[in-house]
Amino acid sequence: MGSKSSPSLPRWVKRPDDPHPPAGWTETPLAAVADIRFSNVDKKSYASERPVRLCNYTDVYNKEYVHGHEDFMNATASETEIVRFSIRAGDVIITKDSETPDDIGVPAVVLAAPKDLVCGYHLALIRPRSDQISSVFLAKQIADTRISQYYARLANGLTRYGLTNAVVEFTPIWLPTPEEQHEVAAVLRGIDEAILKTEKLIAKLKSIKQGLLHDLLTRGLDDNGELRNPEDHPEQFKETPQGRIPAAWETLTISDLAVYVGSGITPTGGSTVYKREGVLFIRSQNVTFEGLLLDDIAYIDERTHQMMARSEVFAHDVLLNITGASIGRCCTVPEGLGPANVNQHVCIIRTARPRREDAILLAAVLASFIGQRQIDRLNAGSNRQGLNYQQLRSFLVPWPKHEAERTALAARIESADSRIRAEEAYLSKLRAIKRGLMQDLLTGRVRVPADKVLASATG
C-alpha cells in the first residue's frame, strides 16, 4: 500500500501544509469506506408513526461508546426513517453541528443497540464497511486533532456551525492494514475501559463517602472509635432543631467557631492583573469538594498580594464558594501551599485555633446534607444567587465538644478523601496516557503489537 494522497480527495480538503499518512498507510475519503446518512428524525411523536427510541445529540456528545442500555428518549419515526436511520452495533455516530466550530464531529461507537433505536436529528450515522475499516479505529481517527481541525476549518455557520454532507464524505481517513487497525483499536479500547472502570470506582467511592459522612455527623464516634448506636443506646443522643445528634455534641454557629469570616478580593484591572507566576490566586473554579483543584490557576504579583491582605489564606482555613453556579462547594487550605489569595466569590472561614482536624471536620459539615440544606435554603431566600456573611456567621454546625472525637472523625473523613484523591490521580494519568497513545498510534509514530503498547504505557 502506498502513502500518497488519494486522487479522489478534492483540493479544498487538503492544504499544502497538511500532514501525510505514514509509510504503508493510504489516505481515502470517508465515503469510500463507509455509508454516511444525515438524520432528519426529530423528537416529536405522531400517532401515524411507529414508536422508537431515539439516540440524541447528548447521547453521543457525552460518551465515546453507546452500550445499548442507556435511557434513550421515546419518540416516533416513519417506516422510511426507521429503515434508513436504525442503529446497529458497529455504527459510528457523530455530532454534525455545534455552537462553536472547534467542537464538532464528536464521535461515539455503537457497541450494542436495541432493535428500535433510531439516530436522531443533529447527528450523522456512519456505517463502516467492516472489511475495510474498524469501527473503533474510525471513531478514534475522527476524534483526533487532525480531523477535528479539518471540521473546524470547513464548518458553516454564524451562531451555530454545521458540517455539510460533502465535508463529512470527504473526511480524509488514514488507513493502515486491517490487522494494524485492529491492533490500534485494541490498545485505545483497552485504555478507554480502564478509564471507565476508574470513573465508576470514583463515583462509588464518593457515594460511600456521603453515606459515611451521614453516619459520622449524626452518630459520631464513641471512646472505642465505634459509631454510636441510637437503637441500643438512645441515652447517648439528644434531639435538636436540626435533628438528632450525640449528647456529647453541641450546636454552634460558625460565628462561635471562627475568628474570621469574609471573602477575598478580586484585584482591579481584570485579567491583565494575572501573571504566569507569582502568588497563587484562588478562584471559585479551584474550590471543589475533593480539595483545591490547581490545574487552572492564576497568579498575582507580590505588590498586589500585599495590597490584598484580607484576602490572604492560610493553612487550615476553610474555603466556601458563596456565589455563582458552584455555590456551596468547599474545601480546606492544605499545609505547604505557600502564599495565596482568594477572590470575592470565595469565603474564608478561619477557626479560633486553626487545627487541621477541625478544618477537615468543618468542611465536611458544610459539604454534607447538613450544610448543603442550609445553603440551599438561605440561597433560595435571597434576591440574588449568593450568601452574605451575616447568613454564614449564623450557620448552625453540630460540633463534638471533645477534641479527641473531632480528631478521630477527621481521620475517618481524610481516609475516605485520600482514597478518592488517589483514584483521581490515577484517572488523570490514564487520560494523559490516552492522549499520548492517540498521538502515537493514529499517526503511525508507534507501530507495535497492542499488548506491548498498553503494558508499556500503563506501567
Q: What digits encode the pLDDT tens for the residues 41-81?
A: 999 999 999 999 999 999 999 999 999 999 999 999 999 99
Residue 381: predicted pLDDT: 59
pLDDT higher than threshold 50 for residue 3 = no
Is the separation of the CB atoms in 220 and 398 below 8 Å? Answer: no
Query: What top-level class would CATH report for the domain 26-174?
Result: alpha beta
pLDDT for 271 equals 62
Architecture of domain 249-400: Alpha-Beta Complex (3.90)
User: Which position has the higher pLDDT, 400 or 265?
Assistant: 400
How much of the chain, in percent, has pLDDT values that exceed 90? 77
| Average pLDDT of the chain to the nearest whole number | 91
Q: Would the CATH topology of 26-174 be identical to that of 249-400?
A: yes
Domain ranges of the chain: 26-174, 249-400
pLDDT of 156-206, one tens digit each? Answer: 998 899 999 999 999 999 999 999 999 999 999 999 999 999 999 999 999
| pTM metric for this prediction | 0.83
pLDDT of residue 264: 85
Q: 319 pLDDT band (50/70/90 cuts)? A: very high
